[in-house]
Amino acid sequence: TLASHVINDLRVDEAKFDVKVWVCVSDEFDVFKISRAILEAVTKSTDDSRDLEMVHRRMKEELTGKKFLLVLDDVWNENQPKWEEVQKPLVLGVQGPEILMTTGSKEVAFTMRSEEYSLQQLQEDDCWKLFAKHAFRGDCTQLNPECKKIGMKIVKK
């Protein structure tokens, strides 16, 4: 959620990125699939390439000389050579790419040689406010006590 806010923040737009890309990685860190997903997000079209080298070549063509932001969401890869393979065509941008990666693993951050920012868990009261804002559209004044009880159980989880 936080990464989504970052990529859509007006200050990010003001940073004048030529290209902004969001790729959800999840469990399987497949170099080809991730590279192709990046290429498709950059070109805003489907790519039918079946060869990693071709995808990387096209990515280089599209990104050379451009300033870009890449968000890799939900990364669990701890294999550094795989990360380096994905990164190869990305280093041609102006000043290199800005990469924001989300993960639940400190080891992943270490593998990707990235700066680490750990988010702390919200306090229960803040969780309730956030939950109520979305579940009840912010109107908790006339809330049925049974609904609040159920909502609090959800918040505790």
pLDDT tens, position by position, 9-22: 777 776 778 888 99
Q: Which residues pair with 71 in a beta bridge?
A: 22, 100
Domains of the chain: which residue ranges?
2-112, 124-156
- Which residues, including other chains, have CB under 8 Å from residue 67's CB and lie 6 or more apart? 15, 16, 17, 18, 19, 93, 94, 95, 98
Return the H-helix or E-strand segment holding 95: none
35: confidence class by pLDDT, cuts 50, 70, 90 = very high
In three-state secondary structure terms, 33 is helix
Q: What percent of the chain has pLDDT over 70?
A: 93
Please give the share of the chain, as a percent, with pLDDT higher than 90. 23
Cβ 99 vs Cβ 72: under 8 Å: yes
| Nearest CA among 18, 14, 5 for reference residue 95 | 18
pLDDT (average), residues 93-122: 79
In sequence order, the β-bridge partners of residue 100 are 71
What's the helix, strand, coil split of the chain in %, to 5? 50, 15, 35
> pLDDT-based confidence at 31, cuts 50/70/90?
very high
* Residue 94 confidence (pLDDT) above 70: no
Whether residue 154 has pLDDT greater than 90: no
33 residue type, one letter: K
Enter the pTM of the model. Answer: 0.72
Tell me, rounded to whole angstroms, the distance of Cα 31 from its chain centroid: 16
